[in-house]
């Protein structure tokens, strides 16, 4: 009995690793997240079974249900793939599934994916680190209810790039918390929607106006000086006409 935990990368199928593509082509059943790009699912052979276990607001499978399903499928099929967006172990709960499978006596093979936390900003022309702008990056989740706030203490005063996954619904609260903790309201921000897909869109503003941006999940929020850069425009300051390097 075995399950392959496979990272689907940040979007388009051509950003999959070769190992991930081979796993999909040989799978008998693929248990996948809700937001996996159709171009990735198209690589699964026609005879394979596709099971969507996507968790949307107020619906979908619980993590416990997914764990139980994977164990059940591993007992029935030889090639089971659990396909997760980005990298399974960057806020993908891959570790929880791995532990549940191993506890049930199921062997696990991990196929890492390109995390959207780093590749997503680059889809909008934004390097998460760049000399003279940022010497490091912090990745956090913004997901959660209003009464289950992410602890941002210290991140407001930091000059490191902040990449927020699953933070669109909480963007106004996150912005207020960062400003209260010391980040200037004029700090550049960018939101990259559906990175590396045909419907990708990048919106830029400043931290004080993040809550007013018309943006929709799935999206990645970038906070920091690098959010004002666009590599596709020869490292220009967006909207300023000032060239950088």
Q: Which of 14, 49, 55, 209 is catalytic?
A: 55
List, in order, residues 6 or more apart from 110 with CB less than 8 Å away. Answer: 4, 5, 88, 89, 94, 98
Tell the residue number behind the tokens 């532990």, with chain if given.
99
List, in order, residues 6 or more apart from 168 with CB less than 8 Å away. Answer: 142, 191, 215, 216, 217, 218, 219, 221
Q: What CA–CA distance (Å, rounded) separates 9 from 28?
A: 21
Two tokens, residue 163? 């990449």
Q: Which of 14, 33, 151, 212 is catalytic?
A: 33
Among residues 160, 122, 111, which one has the least CA distance to residue 140? 160
Asked if the peptide bond before residue 218 counts as cis, ω within 30 degrees of 0, the response is yes
Cα→Cα distances 155→16, 149, 159, 178, 179, Å:
32, 14, 8, 7, 10
Q: Is 209 a catalytic residue?
A: no
Active site positions, annotated: 33, 55
């Amino acid at each position: 009995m075995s399950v392959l935990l496979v990272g689907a990368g940040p979007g388009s199928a051509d950003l999959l690793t070769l190992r991930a593509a081979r796993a999909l082509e040989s799978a008998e059943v693929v248990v996948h997240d809700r937001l996996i790009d159709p171009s990735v699912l198209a690589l699964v052979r026609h005879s394979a079974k596709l099971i969507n276990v996507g968790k949307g607001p107020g619906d979908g499978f619980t993590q416990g249900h997914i764990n139980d399903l994977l164990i059940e499928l591993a007992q029935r099929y030889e090639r089971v793939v659990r396909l997760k967006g980005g990298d399974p172990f960057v806020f993908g709960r891959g570790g929880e599934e791995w532990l549940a499978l191993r506890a049930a006596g199921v062997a696990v093979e991990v196929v890492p994916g390109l995390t959207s936390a780093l590749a997503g900003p680059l889809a909008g022309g934004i390097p998460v680190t760049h000399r003279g702008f940022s010497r490091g990056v912090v990745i956090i989740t913004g997901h959660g209810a209003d009464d289950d706030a992410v602890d941002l203490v210290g991140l407001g005063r930091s000059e490191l790039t902040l990449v927020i996954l699953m933070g669109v619904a909480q963007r106004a609260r996150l912005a207020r918390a960062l400003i209260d903790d010391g980040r200037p309201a004029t700090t550049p921000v960018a939101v990259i929607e559906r990175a590396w897909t045909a419907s990708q869109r990048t919106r830029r503003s400043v931290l004080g106006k993040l809550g007013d941006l018309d943006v929709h999940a799935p999206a990645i929020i970038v906070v920091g000086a690098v959010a004002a850069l666009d590599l596709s425009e020869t490292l220009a300051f967006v909207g300023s006409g000032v060239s950088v390097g």
